[in-house]
């Protein structure tokens, strides 16, 4: 059998597995593009969790009650954990965490653009948990069925933990809308600022999405950007109503025929603008990450040196 025949046979077997809804596991043969595509998506997801710690970390030391402080701290800690699960899944594809972090810090890898928006008030902690985590969950629930085993298992684990994130966010909003007029205004302001960026989290329209088609074919992605976004719009509408807040989308209207809400158009110019580095926090987020990483270098070096000494002592004793 020629190499070419061999390859197409492997590719055929790979596609058969995908079609049969079998998971692809780390040591399976897989097309190089599938591997690259996965690394791109999983690492972007991991980086988003890690960078996502910053806007909320920004309010950790200012949380207005001890209960909220404890909840927020455990939520941010979960995000670090989720980042770690995802790095761990990416590493099964033959790339190291150091390489992944380097790609993040050099700007080569992306993270969710939503985290380039600043967290300005306590209500933003509510809006982020409710809307940003809410949008993320819609996506993640769908990704539990992704074709790559370690990614799928990571998603299942993450989804189990993440529902608390959205609820705690909504709970913050509930307390605010039931509080003083200033608190309610704070909640409305946070909703206004985070609603549209949350919709943008699902990515460009399917017709514009560069990676979508292949990802769908390979079942890395299971539902399209627009379908997922619609789910989120539908579920969020009644949640906003229950809070008694004004919906930021003035064009939102129930469409009986479709069984979905019709909504106003997203400001794609803003989306591109923030992705291209002009958000309030693009530079700050990366600089923060790089600074922490660099300040930790001597600690990691110390670990290595200590470990080397231990090994040396062991072999001496032996």
Partner 1 sequence: MQDNALELFEVFIRSKRGLDHKHVGSLHSEDHAQALEYARDVYTRRSEGVSIWVVKSSDICASQEDDAEDFFDPNDDKPYRHATYYELPDAVNNM
Partner 2 sequence: MSDNIKAATQEYATRLGDDAVVLGHRISEWVSRGPFLEEDIAYANVALDYIGRARMFYGYAAELANDGRTEDDFAYMRDDRQYQNLLLMEMPRGDFAYSQVRQLFIDIYYNLLLPELVNSKDDTLAAIAAKAIKETRYHLRRSRDWVLRLGDGTEESHHRAQAAVDSLWGYTHELFDMDETEKLLADNGIGVDTTQLREAWLKHVSAILSEATLSVPEDGWAVRGGRIGYHTENLGHVLTEMQFVHRSYPGCQW
Summarize as ranges the residues that interact with partner 2 (CB under 8 A). 50, 53-54, 57, 60-70, 73-74, 76-77, 80-81, 83-84, 87, 122, 172, 175-176, 178-180, 182-183, 288, 291-292, 295-303, 305-306, 309
Q: Which is nearer to partner 1, 98 or 182 (CB)?
A: 98
Q: Which is nearer to partner 2, 87 or 271 (CB)?
A: 87
Q: Tell me which stretch binds partner 1 (CB under 8 A): 51-59, 62-70, 88-96, 131-139.
A: 88-96
Distance, in Å, from the CA atom of 86 to the CA atom of 112, rounded to the nearest integer, reads 14
Q: Which is nearer to partner 2, 20 or 297 (CB)?
A: 297
Using CB under 8 A, which residues numbered 160 to 179 contact partner 1? 161
Interaction of residue 23 with partner 1, rule CB under 8 A: no
Interaction of residue 238 with partner 1, rule CB under 8 A: no
Bridge partners for 253 per DSSP: 262
Query: 169 exposed, middle or buried (CB, 10 Å; 0-12, 13-18, 19+)?
Result: buried
Site string for partner 1, 267-296 (x = CB under 8 A): ------------------------------
Backbone region of residue 279 per phi and psi (left: phi > 0; alpha: psi in -120 to 50; beta: other values): beta
Distance, in Å, from the CA atom of 265 to the CA atom of 280, rounded to the nearest integer, reads 22
Distance, in Å, from the CA atom of 22 to the CA atom of 9, rounded to the nearest integer, reads 17
H/E run at residue 254: strand 253-255
Q: Which is nearer to partner 1, 25 or 251 (CB)?
A: 25
Q: Which is nearer to partner 1, 213 or 305 (CB)?
A: 305
Min dist. Cβ of residue 184 to partner 2 (A): 11
Min dist. Cβ of residue 318 to partner 2 (A): 20
DSSP 8-state assignment for residue 148: B
To 5 degrees, how large is the angle CA 200–CA 202–CA 208?
Answer: 85
The pair of three-digit structure tokens given for residue 182, joined into one six-digit string: 């200033």
Distance, in Å, from the CA atom of 238 to the CA atom of 149, rounded to the nearest integer, reads 35
Distance, in Å, from the CA atom of 166 to the CA atom of 67, rounded to the nearest integer, reads 16
Residues lying near partner 1 in the complex (CB under 8 A) are found at: 25, 27-29, 74, 77-78, 81, 84-85, 88-89, 91, 96-98, 154, 157, 161, 297, 300-301, 303-307, 310
């Amino acid at each position: 059998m020629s190499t070419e025949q061999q390859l197409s046979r492997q590719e055929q077997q790979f596609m058969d597995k995908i079609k049969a809804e079998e998971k692809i596991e780390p040591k399976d043969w897989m097309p190089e593009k599938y591997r690259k595509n996965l690394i791109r998506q999983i690492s972007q997801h991991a980086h988003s969790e890690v960078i996502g710690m910053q806007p909320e970390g920004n309010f950790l030391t200012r949380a207005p009650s001890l209960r909220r402080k404890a909840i927020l701290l455990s939520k941010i800690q979960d995000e670090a954990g989720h980042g770690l699960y995802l790095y761990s899944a990416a590493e099964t594809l033959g790339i190291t965490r150091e390489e992944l972090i380097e790609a993040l810090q050099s700007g080569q890898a992306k993270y969710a653009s939503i985290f380039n928006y600043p967290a300005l008030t306590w209500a933003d902690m509510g809006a982020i948990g409710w809307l940003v985590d809410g949008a993320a969950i819609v996506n993640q629930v769908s990704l539990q069925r992704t074709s790559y085993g370690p990614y799928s298992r990571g998603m299942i684990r993450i989804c189990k933990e993440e529902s608390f994130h959205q609820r705690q966010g909504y709970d913050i909003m509930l307390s605010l809308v039931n509080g003083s007029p200033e608190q309610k205004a704070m909640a409305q302001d946070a909703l206004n600022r985070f609603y549209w960026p949350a919709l943008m989290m699902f990515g460009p329209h399917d017709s514009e999405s560069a990676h979508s088609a292949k990802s769908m074919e390979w079942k890395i992605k299971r539902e399209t950007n627009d379908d997922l976004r619609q789910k989120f719009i539908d579920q969020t509408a009644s949640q906003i109503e229950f809070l008694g807040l004004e919906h930021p989308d003035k064009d939102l209207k129930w469409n009986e025929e479709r069984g979905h809400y019709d909504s106003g158009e997203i400001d794609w110019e803003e989306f591109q603008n923030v992705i291209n580095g002009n958000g309030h926090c693009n530079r700050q987020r990366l600089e923060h990450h790089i600074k922490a990483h660099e300040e930790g270098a001597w600690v990691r070096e110390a670990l290595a040196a200590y470990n080397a000494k231990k090994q040396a002592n062991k072999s001496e004793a032996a």
